[in-house]
Structure 1
Amino acid sequence: MNTPLARADDLAGTVKAIKQRPGKEIGLSGSVTLTASLLELGLVDELRVLVNPITLGAGRSLFSTLNRRVPFELWRTTTFRSGNVLLTYRPA
């Protein structure tokens, strides 16, 4: 599998070029800063948030680095036997 690297100096251009390639969906997990940047650039087609019903007491918010409000609408929910819930949002 080839994994292209997103260039920090041209994030929008890099991601737009990747999205135009033939193939399957693009996935991103684990990078709060990159996710926030892509949301602000309008380059996210779908946002999936997995809710795991445990209390940690601390953590880092996915949206704390956003500089503006990004509207989404709930598109689908999936509930798992474990009690986890997958919330799928699309841009509003």
Structure 2
Amino acid sequence: MQKITPEQKEKFFPNGITNGVTIEVYDFISSVLLRSRPDVDGWDGLKALAICEAIYESSWSNQAVQVKDVLEGKVEGYQKEINEYWGIDS
């Protein structure tokens, strides 16, 4: 932190915000207001979530699970029980 410029610090920690989720929300709102692309868009968020889901699916099935397969809906053993409970069609 001591080796970055004040401009870099403001870019990565706008208005002194240090909480990651708050920074993402700030970036999203700024992007909407300025009509610009956020640093992390919806697709990036979906991919990050798919990594977590692949870990759950891998643990549930005791097998390696590809993130690509989660994104394509090919793997849903862990998720199936949750979907059934909530009445969600996959």
Bin the TM-score by the shorter chain: under 0.3
Higher-helix-fraction structure: 2
TM-score by length of 1: 0.22
